[in-house]
Amino acid sequence: MLAFTDEAALARFARARGEADRTWRYRAVWGAAVLDAGVPAVAAEPGAEGGAGLPCGVLVDAGDGERGLVLPPVVGIVPDAYALNGPATATDTDADADGGTGEERR
């Protein structure tokens, strides 16, 4: 999923791709809402709007070279249910006394 900190960053990305003349649809969200809303939408089953059925990380300001940021699809970054190492992908080697559900004990 692509995320931009402002419209200027989106414009730089579009220019870098040679697509500055096309219309870019986007949704403005703040902070963690990018992860809470965007990641599940992209990771949704294929056929759902925007869904790819795959774990999804986030590229922030992808057209800005070293200033860009990659947020991988792992626990602590994206919602646990959509993380590569989340509860749904627990293996016997990382299972604990809770039966490998990935739930944290307190």
Contact between residue 63 and residue 13 where contact means Cβ atoms under 8 Å apart: yes
Question: Which residue shows structure tokens 């944290």?
Answer: 104
Q: How many CB atoms lie within 10 A of CB 31?
A: 7
Q: What is the pLDDT of residue 95?
A: 43
Measured CA distances, 12 to 5, 23, 101 (Å): 11, 14, 42
Gyration radius of the chain's alpha carbons = 17
What is the full per-residue pLDDT of the chain (106 aa) written as tens digits? 788 989 999 999 999 999 999 999 888 888 778 777 777 777 666 666 666 666 777 888 988 888 888 888 888 887 777 788 877 654 444 444 444 444 444 3
Q: Which two tokens stand for residue 7?
A: 């419209």
Backbone angles phi, psi at 21, to 5 degrees: -90, -5
Q: What is the pLDDT of residue 76?
A: 83
This prediction has a pTM of: 0.61
Q: Which two tokens stand for residue 74?
A: 């792992």
